C-alpha cells in the first residue's frame, strides 16, 4: 500500500504527481527561463526544475547574492508551477565547473581528486574537508533563504548536486583518499552485498575487520567512492534540514551504458543501482535517488526503471529525453509498470520555437499531457495493479490487457485494417488538421477503477472491452459471443477532465460515437462505465 513517503506533498499535505521540464544548464537568470516555463505549459506539466549556481550565489567568499534564487521562485509561482531547485555546487556531472573562482584557483586548499597515476582529474575530492565545509555553508545559506522567502510552498523538493561522482577515474587515489581506503570498512556496511562482486555471500572480508576489497571484490573502488560521496551528501542534507525542512533528493548518472564500468562508462561514486544500498545506509536523509534516463530503447529503459523502482526508493525520473517516440512510449511504461511518482524531461527550450511545440517534441508532449490528465487516479491507484500501459511496439497491430473482470484489446489506429475512424469521438478525423490522430504511434494509460469503470488517455488507440466469464459459468462461449458481454452494454461513455479529484464531463458519447470501439485521441480523457450487472439467467 502507498506509504506517506511515496509521493511529493504540497503544503496542504496533499500528494502531488509531478510532470515537468528542466531548463538547460545556463538558462537561469536569462530570458530562456521564460521559454522553459512556456514549454512546461505546452507539455501540460506542473513542475519547473532549474539550477541554482554556487558561483553566482557566492561569487566571492562569504558574500551572498540570492537575487537569482528569488527570481526563480517568483517566476515559478507566477506560472502556477512547483519548483525543484537543483543545487549546482561542488559536483555537476562529476565536474566542478559551477564552483566559484576562489575554489577553482586555490587548488592547495580545495583539492582535486586524483587518478591511479596520481594525476588530478576534473572533479573535486570528496575527501577534502575544506571543500565540503564551503559547499555545505553556502548550501545552508540558500536553504535558509528559501525557508524564509517561499511562504506559499512553491518549492516542493530540493536536489543536492547534479549527477555527483568522479570523472575519468574509478575512485580518488590522493593521499587523503588512500589513507581512508586502508581503514576498516564501517560496520554498518558489512551486510551489504554487491551483485557480481566475485565475493561469496558469506564473506565479511579477507581480514577482521573487513577491507573494501574483501567485502566488495571487483567493485571495491566504486563502493569506496560511493561511500565517501554519500558521507559528503549526508552532511549536506543535515545542514539543509537545520534551515529548511523539505525533501532532499538526488539525480543519478545511471550505469546503463555499454559495458558498465565506473569512470569509463559513467561517473564513479554516484548512487547508481550497483551501490545504491551503500548510499541508502550512508545518506538516509535523501528521500529518493532519481535516475536520469536518456534511453529510447524499451529494453534499456525498463532495465533502468527496474533498478531504481524499489520499495525504499519510489521512482522519480528527474531527466529524460525531451522528444522522440521512444520517450513518448516509455513514460507510459514508467507510470504503469514501475509506479513512477513523477517524470520530467530535460532541455525545455529545445522543444519549442516561436511559442509552439516543435514536431520532434509533439509526441512526447502528448504523452506527458495524457499522464498529467490522469494524475488523481495515478495517485489513488498507484501500486494496485489497476494502472495499465498500452504501447505500440514495432510491427504491432494490437495489445491485450487482462483485468480482473474484462478482456481489453487495444488496436493501434496506424495499423487498423478495418478503420471506423469517423465514429467514436467528437474529433473530425476527416479534417486534414487532425490527420495525425490516425497516424500517431499508439499508446495510452488505462486505469481500472473496478465495477466496470475505466479511464483512458493517450493517442492512436481504440479499445474493445469483453466481460470475462464467471467461474460458475457453464456456457462461457455463448456469453462471450453475446453483445451483452461487450461494451455495447455500457452505462455511459464520456470525455472530460479532472478538477482536483472531481471528474468534470465535457461531452457524452452515445450512438455511433459509443457503440463501436472506444477511440482515444490526443487531448482527451475518456471515461467508460460498463454495466456490471449482466443477468444470464431469469
Q: Cα dihedral sign for 276, 279, 284, 290?
A: negative
pLDDT in tens, 135-171: 999 999 999 999 999 999 999 999 999 999 999 999 9
* Per-residue confidence (pLDDT) for residue 6, from 0 to 100: 87
10 Å Cβ neighbour count for 358?
A: 15
E strands within 93-137? Answer: 112-114, 120-124
DSSP 400-441: EEE-SSEEEEEEEGGG-SS--TTSSSSS-TTSGGGGGGGTSP
**CATH number reported for the structural domain that contains residue 361 in this entry:** 3.20.20.80
Which three three-digit cell numbers place residue 417? Answer: 485494417
Q: Is 538 domain-assigned?
A: no
- The answer to whether the beta carbons of residues 240 and 145 sit under 8 Å apart is no
Q: What integer best gives the mean pLDDT of the chain?
A: 94
Q: Is 173 domain-assigned?
A: no
Q: Are residues 309 and 325 in the same domain?
A: yes
C-alpha torsion 268→326→44→397, nearest 10? -150
What residues contact 30, with CB distance under 8 A and at least 6 apart? Answer: none
The pairing of strands 443-450 and 490-499 is unpaired
Q: Cα dihedral sign for 320, 326, 332, 335?
A: negative
Q: Are residues 375 and 449 in the same domain?
A: no
Q: Are residues 259 and 287 in the same domain?
A: yes
- The answer to whether the beta carbons of residues 247 and 158 sit under 8 Å apart is yes
Taking the whole predicted model, whether its pTM rises above 0.85 is answered as yes
Q: Are residues 99 and 244 in the same domain?
A: yes
Question: Can you tell me the distance from the alpha carbon of 426 to that of 414, in angstroms, rounded to the nearest whole number?
Answer: 19
Q: Is 503 domain-assigned?
A: yes
- Local structure of 493: helix, strand or coil: strand
Q: Are residues 148 and 95 in the same domain?
A: yes
- Per the structure, the complete domain to which residue 346 belongs is given by 4-168+219-383
Q: Is 476 domain-assigned?
A: yes
10 Å Cβ neighbour count for 12?
A: 7
Q: Are residues 376 and 396 in the same domain?
A: no
Q: Are residues 403 and 375 in the same domain?
A: no
From 383, 410, 444, the end of a domain falls on 383
Q: How many domains does the chain have?
A: 2
Question: Can you tell me the distance from the alpha carbon of 300 to that of 514, in angstroms, rounded to the nearest whole number?
Answer: 38
Question: Can you tell me the distance from the alpha carbon of 508 to that of 380, in angstroms, rounded to the nearest whole number?
Answer: 25
Q: Is 188 domain-assigned?
A: no
Q: Is 85 domain-assigned?
A: yes
- Helices 220-243 and 129-149, axial angle in degrees (round to 10): 40
Q: Cα dihedral sign for 103, 109, 114, 117?
A: positive
pLDDT in tens, 379-426: 999 999 999 999 999 999 999 999 999 999 999 999 876 666 556 778
Q: Are residues 450 and 306 in the same domain?
A: no
SS (H, E, C) 261-315: CECCCECECCCCHHHHHHHHHHCCCEEEEEEEECCCCHHHHHHHHHHHCECCECC
- Give phi and psi for 390, each to the nearest 5: -115, 120
**CATH number reported for the structural domain that contains residue 469 in this entry:** 2.60.220.20
Per-residue pLDDT in tens (0 to 9) along the chain, 538 residues: 234 458 999 999 999 999 999 999 999 999 999 999 999 999 999 999 999 999 999 999 999 999 999 999 999 999 999 999 999 999 999 999 999 999 999 999 999 999 999 999 999 999 999 999 999 999 999 999 999 999 999 999 999 999 999 999 999 999 999 999 999 999 999 999 999 999 976 555 555 779 999 999 999 999 999 999 999 999 999 999 999 999 999 999 999 999 999 999 999 999 999 999 999 999 999 999 999 999 999 999 999 999 999 999 999 999 999 999 999 999 999 999 999 999 999 999 999 999 999 999 999 999 999 999 999 999 999 999 999 999 999 999 999 999 999 999 999 999 876 666 556 778 888 889 888 888 899 999 999 999 999 999 999 999 999 999 988 888 889 888 988 888 888 999 999 999 999 999 999 999 888 888 889 999 999 999 999 887 666 5
Amino acid at each position: 500500500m502507498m506509504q506517506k513517503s511515496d509521493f511529493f506533498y504540497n503544503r496542504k499535505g496533499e500528494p502531488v504527481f509531478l510532470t515537468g521540464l528542466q531548463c538547460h544548464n545556463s538558462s537561469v537568470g536569462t530570458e530562456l527561463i521564460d521559454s522553459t516555463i512556456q514549454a512546461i505549459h505546452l507539455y501540460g506539466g506542473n513542475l519547473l526544475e532549474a539550477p541554482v549556481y554556487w558561483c553566482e550565489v557566492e561569487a566571492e567568499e562569504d558574500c551572498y547574492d540570492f537575487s537569482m534564487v528569488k527570481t526563480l521562485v517568483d517566476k515559478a509561482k507566477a506560472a502556477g508551477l512547483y519548483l525543484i531547485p537543483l543545487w549546482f555546487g561542488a559536483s555537476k556531472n562529476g565536474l566542478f565547473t559551477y564552483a566559484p573562482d576562489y575554489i577553482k584557483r586555490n587548488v592547495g586548499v580545495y583539492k582535486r581528486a586524483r587518478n591511479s597515476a596520481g594525476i588530478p582529474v576534473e572533479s573535486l575530492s570528496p575527501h577534502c574537508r575544506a571543500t565540503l565545509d564551503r559547499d555545505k555553508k553556502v548550501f545552508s545559506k540558500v536553504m535558509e533563504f528559501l525557508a524564509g522567502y517561499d511562504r506559499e510552498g512553491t518549492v516542493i523538493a530540493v536536489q543536492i548536486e547534479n549527477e555527483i561522482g568522479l570523472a575519468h577515474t574509478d575512485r580518488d587515489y590522493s593521499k587523503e583518499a588512500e589513507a581512508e581506503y586502508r581503514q576498516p570498512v564501517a560496520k554498518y556496511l558489512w551486510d551489504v552485498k554487491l551483485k557480481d562482486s566475485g565475493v561469496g555471500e558469506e564473506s565479511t572480508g579477507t581480514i577482521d575487520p573487513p577491507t573494501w576489497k574483501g567485502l566488495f571484490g571487483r567493485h571495491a573502488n566504486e563502493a569506496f567512492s560511493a561511500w565517501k560521496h554519500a558521507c559528503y551528501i549526508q552532511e549536506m542534507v543535515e545542514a539543509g534540514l537545520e534551515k529548511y525542512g523539505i525533501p532532499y533528493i538526488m539525480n543519478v548518472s545511471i550505469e546503463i551504458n555499454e559495458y558498465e564500468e565506473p569512470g569509463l562508462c559513467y561517473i564513479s561514486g554516484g548512487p547508481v543501482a550497483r551501490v545504491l544500498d551503500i548510499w541508502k545506509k550512508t545518506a538516509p536523509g535523501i528521500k529518493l535517488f532519481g535516475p536520469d534516463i536518456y534511453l529510447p530503447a524499451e529494453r534499456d529503459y525498463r532495465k533502468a526503471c527496474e533498478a531504481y523502482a524499489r520499495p525504499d526508493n519510489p521512482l522519480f525520473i528527474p531527466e529524460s529525453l525531451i522528444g522522440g517516440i521512444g520517450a513518448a512510449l516509455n513514460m507510459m511504461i514508467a507510470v504503469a509498470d514501475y509506479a513512477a511518482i513523477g517524470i520530467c524531461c530535460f532541455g525545455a527550450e529545445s522543444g519549442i520555437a516561436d511559442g509552439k511545440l516543435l514536431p520532434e517534441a509533439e509526441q512526447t508532449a502528448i504523452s506527458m499531457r495524457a499522464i498529467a490528465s490522469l494524475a488523481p487516479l495515478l495517485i489513488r491507484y498507484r501500486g494496485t495493479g489497476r494502472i495499465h500501459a498500452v504501447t505500440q511496439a514495432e510491427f504491432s497491430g494490437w495489445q491485450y490487457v487482462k483485468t480482473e473482470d474484462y478482456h481489453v484489446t487495444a488496436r493501434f489506429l496506424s495499423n487498423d485494417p478495418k478503420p471506423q475512424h469517423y465514429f467514436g469521438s467528437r474529433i473530425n478525423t476527416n479534417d486534414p488538421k487532425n490527420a495525425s490522430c490516425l497516424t500517431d504511434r499508439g499508446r495510452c494509460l488505462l486505469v481500472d477503477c473496478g465495477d466496470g469503470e475505466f479511464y483512458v488517455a493517450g493517442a492512436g488507440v481504440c479499445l474493445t472491452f469483453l466481460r470475462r466469464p464467471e467461474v460458475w459459468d457453464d456456457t462461457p462461449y455463448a456469453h462471450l459471443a453475446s453483445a451483452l458481454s461487450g461494451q455495447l452494454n455500457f452505462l455511459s461513455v464520456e470525455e472530460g477532465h479532472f478538477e482536483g479529484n472531481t471528474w468534470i464531463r465535457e461531452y457524452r458519447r452515445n450512438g455511433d460515437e459509443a457503440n463501436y470501439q472506444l477511440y482515444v485521441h490526443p487531448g482527451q480523457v475518456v471515461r467508460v462505465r460498463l454495466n456490471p450487472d449482466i443477468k444470464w439467467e431469469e
